[in-house]
A and B are shown apart, each in its own frame.
Chain A
């Protein structure tokens, strides 16, 4: 555990070098809020209430889900592993005195912790700029549950991206797959549109999979909705995380022998 904490601290510090780039990147996340503001302004011009949302709770949902999705820095795991394998530099991770998956998880936690502050500031700025009457629950149980979902959800995304990354050992180039995955994930986690707007049968199907609980459910909990889904949600998401532990271990041990260390 000490090794993990050291990596987290190290990555946190190295992020400081890029602080201005990070601040600029965070500002450009405005596109999601602008989309929500313009489209939902037009939609709510015709109706006052849509699927249990008012205009302001809808925008609060987008602010929170955008914040949570930006916090997830795990996408870089897949890209970094993929390029390291293809470039022959993956051996530097193999010789580290720490489990490879744990190393990438610790690295992502360090980066996410640094970005947390920037994204929080951005969220507050958007609330003021767009004059949103921000809906946020005062229920401690819902707040703590949302925090649990966020933590376990981020862990799942790190596991998923790690798994996709090490598939490069097998397929050589997974860039296209990573890009398609990114588009799909933004939809099925509810970042583009609240999942409640989809047909009920599809939503019921999505509850079996972890993506429902990563951004959508914690966002809904934070605006004070979907309280009754907490227990089943925590169990489902935890089971997925547990299932990925042996899968990733097995895949890594099977596939790493295919690494030919280009350029070594």
Chain B
């Protein structure tokens, strides 16, 4: 564990010195994603100018939902996004060889070798959005509820990582997974715009169970507004455990299938 932590710190240090060479694009991810979530808020402000609630959710709940999604996305961008997205290319051109032949976990290195501190301001922006949402709702939030919310956000970040990784290791079994990436984009697009409470039928089945992006921001939002039932809370935790287990197993299985294109 101590050895892994030391290794992660070394990777972060290396990445930081690399990023300083390209200072102009340092905050790129922050500006891109920040604008995305601000536009999202404007979209829902326009809809809420016509109605008081959407599927029982008021403006405040919707803003917390958007802020929470932004927060989980920010954690993803800061910690592992830029590392995980390189996996399909590394599988395709055989670069994965350099990772599996080193005396350190290849997944650990792939996950943390491209941390992006430029997205850290997105965390502050998300906190601002969530605080604004809470102020609109005029609810009292106890410190215990805040801690629970933070834990739930972190758990959902793990779920995001699991799904992101699962879709990126498909090339270990197939030649190309381009369309899986497109599928991921579409599902994320829907999930960041539509709270899970609005989903019904086949949409709920897909986004709550098959690829559970639908619960990632909905459950923490429901938790902090005190509307998440213990049953759904248990379901959320169970899904994360299941997906983490599956991801680990499929990664190990995939490595056995890896054919090393470069040699």
Interface residues of A (CB under 8 A from B): 21, 24-25, 28, 30-32, 34-35, 38-39, 41-43, 45-47, 50-51, 172-173, 175-176, 179-180, 183-184, 186-187, 192-193, 197-199
Question: With A24-B179, A25-B182 known to touch, is A42 a contact of B24 (CB < 8 Å)?
Answer: no
> Which chain B residues border A172 with CB–CB below 8 Å?
24
Give the docked Cα–Cα distance between A180 and B52 (Å).
30
A28 near B55 with CB under 8 A, answer no
B51 near A46 with CB under 8 A, answer yes
Give the docked Cα–Cα distance between A98 and B178 (Å).
34
B193 near A39 with CB under 8 A, answer yes
Distance to closest chain B CB from A22 (angstroms): 11
Query: Which chain B residue lies CB-closest to A25?
Result: B182
Give the A-B contact count at a CB cut-off of 8 A. Answer: 84
A184 near B39 with CB under 8 A, answer yes
B190 at the interface (CB under 8 A from A): yes
B205 at the interface (CB under 8 A from A): no
B51 near A176 with CB under 8 A, answer no
Distance to closest chain B CB from A195 (angstroms): 8
B186 at the interface (CB under 8 A from A): yes
Contact of A28 among B24, B25, B185 (CB under 8 A): B185
Shortest 5 CB-CB distances between A and B: which pairs? A42-B55, A176-B28, A197-B46, A31-B186, A31-B189
> Which chain B residues border A41 with CB–CB below 8 Å?
198
Q: How large is the interface on B (under 10, 10 to 19, 20 to 34, 35 or more residues)?
A: 20 to 34
B31 at the interface (CB under 8 A from A): yes
- Interface residues in B166-222 (C-beta closer than 8 Å to A): 178-179, 182-183, 185-187, 189-190, 193-194, 198-200, 203
> Which chain A residues border B135 with CB–CB below 8 Å?
none
Interface residues of B (CB under 8 A from A): 24-25, 28, 31-32, 35-36, 39, 42-43, 46-47, 49-55, 178-179, 182-183, 185-187, 189-190, 193-194, 198-200, 203
Question: With A39-B193, A50-B50 known to touch, is A180 a contact of B186 (CB < 8 Å)?
Answer: no
Distance to closest chain A CB from B244 (angstroms): 26
> Which chain B residues border A51 with CB–CB below 8 Å?
50
Give the docked Cα–Cα distance between A53 and B182 (Å).
32
A47 near B51 with CB under 8 A, answer yes
Distance to closest chain A CB from B182 (angstroms): 5
A176 near B32 with CB under 8 A, answer yes
A28 near B50 with CB under 8 A, answer no
